[in-house]
Amino acid sequence: MLLTGGFKSLLPHVLRRIIRCNRLSTGNTSGMAEGYKQANVVILHKSLADDFEKFCHANDGPLPLLYRSQPGDWKCPSLSSDSDIRTDCLQYRKYEHGVCTGSLKSLKEYSEQLKDMVTFYLGCSFSFEKAVQKAGIPIRNVEQKCNVSMYKTSVPCYSVSMFHCNLVVTMRPVPESKLGAAVLATSELKEAHGAPVHIGDPGLLGIQDLSKPDYGDPVHLHPGDIPVFWACGVTGIEAVINCRAPLAFTHSPGCMFITDLKNDDVRPLGGVPQVHCISQDPLHFSIVSAEAAQKIKALETLIGIDPGERGIGPLQRQGELLGACLALSHARSVLLTTGFPTHCSHQPPEENDGPPGALAIAAMLQALGKQVAIVTDQRAMDLNQKIIEEAVQIGILKKPIPLLSYQRESDNSALMFLCENGNPGRPRFDHLLAIERAGMAADGNYYNARKVNIKHLVDPIDELFLAAQTIPGVTTTGVGDGGNELGMGKVKDAVKKHIKNGDVIACDVEADFTIVAGVSNWGGYAIACALHVLRCCHTHGRCAPAPPPAPCGSLPRLHREEKLLKTLVQLGVRSGKTASLEMEVDGLPFYNIHSLMIEKLL
């Protein structure tokens, strides 16, 4: 028997001969034939082959198809010159009706059955190991002389006919300082699964214990390492198990077929990928292309102008729009809130900045397949219900949004509202977003820009944002234009210093992300546009839940926003600064100001 020490530099055809002769004393091919592509193997009856190929194309992240053989063809000429799939994997598994009934060193004894079977060669993450090492990143499982860790997740694959399963992933520990390099090294190696699908807490994938992989060996993290997960071709084995074919063969996980194809050096099409931390508890990083990040930065710059001359410049923090939208992109259920009853001498007291922006966000979230609800003041439920119904009629929303109210009845009311049975481990929402929502000041009151206390008109929805800070996995965003809005506590020192009456009106309640815009509605429009940019970003799509096709029709549109503002005027909802019932928001005319901003953002 031969040991593995020098096999990383051997050519693939030499390694295949050694494997064929059963002279290799190792349990996996990780680290072998550096720079050459390795392949997962699935062998199915020819009657299932077309559906399995469709399944691979529908799930090309975990199942990048390198080659499909003809029935009974044991060679793969486009991948290797002299191979025999019956003998050239270290170890195979035999499945009968979805049950593994044996591990085999060779399939030669099944040659007769194989005449009616088709072999699929699927890309493998072992192929990118040299590129990762070249970037200065250690391969911990190679260092520890063990197989890579593989885990079943709770993430469903797209089903095709009888083929269905959840995604399987590999995990490689990566030093936090090297996360960007790991993404860069793998992002364009599509046939080796490409960029990671998840970086951070394994629980977000439904993985409960890293020390207990479903396949392979446990790999230990060093101090400062972050678990990084790539899609894995063992997903194909799970699909074989679930389809319950009378007879099927696969490679044994980690025992790959080694091809003669080299991994070519390629550059990311969208520029260098960026890695951003979007949550500390649980730890979660997201990925975006440099091109998409630059577009979102341009959106943030656009909405940062200060036409009302309120002095909002010192309140603005670069990158908040990108961070908020990355977090929203990963969210499954979002709770929105809006409503600033600044006109306490009018009925209704609400201003018309806020609802249009909230509905623009809601429309995009709906299009992305996310659950959306709005929480508002009990006294304003009827008004908001009419606004939502009109938004559906206009075509802004696909369907009505659930409308909720919150009242404090006990110390744990907020937790009971946000979580099933008040259990922080089971939150109903994973993102809370406030846009132009009255925020509680340090003295417990709520103030408009003129320093008038409007607490009697405001329900304590701030408590939900405060409670969210104690619930792992729930992120918050605040959008405002004056510093007295919910979520602006993050910049309260700047509000007190630079905004008129800021020492009194400044909101004291923080959000994880704070977006400051010249008009809050603009912040809502920018969020909708940024979510669209992320949906169209292939790099980001690797790690975010797979939504429907890019929803261009759900972006803010000038004619729909014009109709919505007319509806608000008809409902008696006034301009914030002037209390006027005209086509204006915050004293700025819709035409030539707001309409131009929408066009620029688009």
Residue 6 lies in a domain: no
pLDDT-based confidence at 541, cuts 50/70/90? Answer: confident
Task: Indicate whether 245 belongs to any domain.
Answer: yes
Task: Assess whether pLDDT exceeds 50 at residue 4.
Answer: no
Q: What secondary structure, in 3-state letters, does 133-161 show?
A: HHCCCCCHHHHCCCCCEEEEEEEECCCEC
Same domain for 380 and 361, yes or no, is: yes
The amino acid at 201:
D
Q: Which residue shows structure tokens 């619930």?
A: 471
- Residue 540 or residue 29, greater confidence: 540
| More confident: 291 or 548 | 291
Residue 574 lies in a domain: no
- The verdict on 245 and 225 lying in the same domain is no
Q: What is the pLDDT of residue 271?
A: 62
* Mean pLDDT on 258-281: 79
> Does residue 244 share a domain with residue 224?
no
Instruction: Please give the average per-residue pLDDT across 385-396, as a whole number.
Output: 97
Burial 501-521 (b: 16+ CB within 10 A, else e): bbeebbbbbbbbbbbbbbbbb
User: Average pLDDT, stretch 472-490?
Assistant: 97
pLDDT confidence band for 547 (50 / 70 / 90): low
| Distance, CA of 169 to CA of 300 (rounded, Å) | 35
Mark whether 417 and 473 lie in a shared domain: yes
Q: Which residues, 6+ apart, have CB-to-CB distance to 466 below 8 Å?
A: 414, 509
Instruction: Note whether 225 and 241 are same-domain residues.
Output: no
Contact 184, 272 (CB under 8 A): yes
Average pLDDT score over residue span 227-252: 96
pLDDT band at 263 (very low <50, low <70, confident <90, very high): confident
Q: Is the pLDDT of residue 371 over 80?
A: yes
220: left (phi over 0), alpha (psi -120 to 50) or beta: beta
Whether 350 contacts 581, CB under 8 Å? no
Asked whether residue 592 is domain-assigned, the answer is no
**What end-to-end distance do the CA atoms of the chain give, in Å?**
65
Query: Does residue 281 sit in helix, strand or coil?
Result: coil
Give the residue from 232, 239, 293 showing the smallest Cα distance to 268.
293
In a domain, 71, yes or no: yes
Statement: residue 375 has pLDDT above 60: yes
Point out the least confidently predicted range of 115-129, 254-268, 311-325, 327-341.
254-268
Peptide bond into 460 cis (omega under 30): no
The reply to whether 290 and 221 lie within a common domain is: no
pLDDT at 2: 43
- CATH number for the domain harbouring residue 62: 3.40.1640.10
Least confident of 94-98, 253-257, 474-478, 520-524: 253-257
pLDDT at 24 over 90: no
What is the percent of the chain with per-residue pLDDT over 90, rounded to a whole number?
86
For the stretch 163-201, pLDDT in tens is: 999 999 999 999 999 999 999 999 888 888 889 999 999
pLDDT for res 550: 52
The pLDDT score that the predictor gives to residue 100 is 97
7-21, 257-271, 518-532, 573-587: least confidently modelled range:
257-271
- pLDDT above 70 (res 218): yes
Q: How many domains does the chain have?
A: 3
Count of CB atoms within 10 A of residue 373's CB? 16
Residues 106 and 254 in one domain: yes
Would residue 602 count as lying in a domain? no
Provide the token pair at 278. 């979007």
pTM over 0.85: yes
Shared domain for 101 and 249, answered yes or no, is yes
Mean per-residue pLDDT, 11-20: 88
Rounded to an integer, the average pLDDT of 551-559 is 86
pLDDT at position 272 over 80: no
What is the C-alpha separation between 57 and 499, in angstroms, rounded? 55
| 184 and 65 together in one domain | no
Asked if the bond preceding 400 is cis, omega within 30° of 0, the reply is no
How many angstroms separate the Cα of 53 from the Cα of each of 97, 255, 337? 20, 22, 45
Confidence class of residue 25 from pLDDT cuts 50, 70 and 90? low
Q: Give the domain CATH number at 155.
A: 3.30.2040.10
From the list 513, 481, 477, the residue with the least C-alpha distance to 495 is 481
Question: Are 475 and 490 within 8 A, CB to CB?
Answer: no
Residue 120's φ and ψ, nearest 5 degrees, are -110, 130
Q: Given this model, what pLDDT does residue 543 score? A: 85
Mean pLDDT of 394-421: 96
196 and 51 co-located in one domain: no
The sign of the dihedral angle between the CA atoms of 423, 424, 430, 436 is positive
Q: At what angle do helices 355-367 and 520-535 cross, to 10 degrees?
A: 10
Phi, then psi, of 94 in degrees rounded to 5 = -110, 130
Question: Does residue 574 have a pLDDT over 70?
Answer: yes
Which is higher by pLDDT, 447 or 191?
Answer: 447
In this structure, are 294 and 374 located in the same domain? yes
The arithmetic mean of pLDDT across residues 255-261, rounded, is 92
**pLDDT tens, 287-324?**
999 999 999 999 999 999 999 999 999 999 999 999 99
In a domain, 580, yes or no: no
What's the pLDDT band for 262 if we cut at 50, 70, 90? confident
Q: Are residues 427 and 325 in the same domain?
A: yes
Return the pLDDT at 1: 41
Rounded to an integer, the average pLDDT of 21-29 is: 76
Residue 340's CATH number:
3.90.1640.20
User: Does residue 299 lie within any of the structural domains?
Assistant: yes
Cα–Cα distance for residue pair 240/313, rounded to 1 Å:
58
Domain of residue 118: give its range: 12-125+237-262
Residue 270 has pLDDT above 80, yes or no: no
Q: What is the mean pLDDT of the chain?
A: 93
